[in-house]
Amino acid sequence: MKNISSEPLTFSALFNGGVKFLVPPYQRSYAWTEKQLEDIWQDMENLREVSSHFTGTLIFKPSSEPGSFEIVDGQQRLTTLVISFCLCLPVSAQAGRF
């Protein structure tokens, strides 16, 4: 049996680690509804008031491509977070927050 590990990560550690995330062919197309988007946005809002908040599980497995991981579970959530950060980063940078 292969080793499985679990650990909490910050968004910074997840996105600034120089790792490439791959969406394997068996994953469904992006299909989140407005309700799911509102829920994850509320999770993001909750982070403004506390230092940590559980936003869901992400499961990755090493890819055959060096420095890459396949997304096994959480692809919809991760895609939403990446899109949100890409939209918010220019606004935050302009406001002097980054």
Q: Which residues 6+ apart lie within 8 Å of 13 measured at CB?
A: none
pLDDT at 86: 82
Q: Which domain holds residue 36?
A: 11-94
Residue 89 domain-assigned (yes or no): yes
Phi/psi for 73 (5° steps) reads -145, 140
Taken as a whole, the chain contains a residue count of 98
pTM: 0.74
Residues of the chain with pLDDT > 90, as a percent, come to 38
Q: What is the mean pLDDT of the chain?
A: 83
Residue 67: inside a domain: yes
Whether residue 25 is contained in a domain is answered as yes
Query: What are the pLDDT digits (tens) for 59-87?
Result: 999 999 998 999 999 999 999 988 888 88
Is residue 2 in a domain?
no
In a domain, 1, yes or no: no
Q: Is residue 69 part of a domain?
A: yes
Domain count, the chain: 1
More confident residue, 92 or 32: 32
Rounded Cα distance between 74 and 90, Å, is 25
Task: Examine residue 3 and state whether it is found in any structural domain, yes or no.
Answer: no
Quick check: is 40 in a domain?
yes
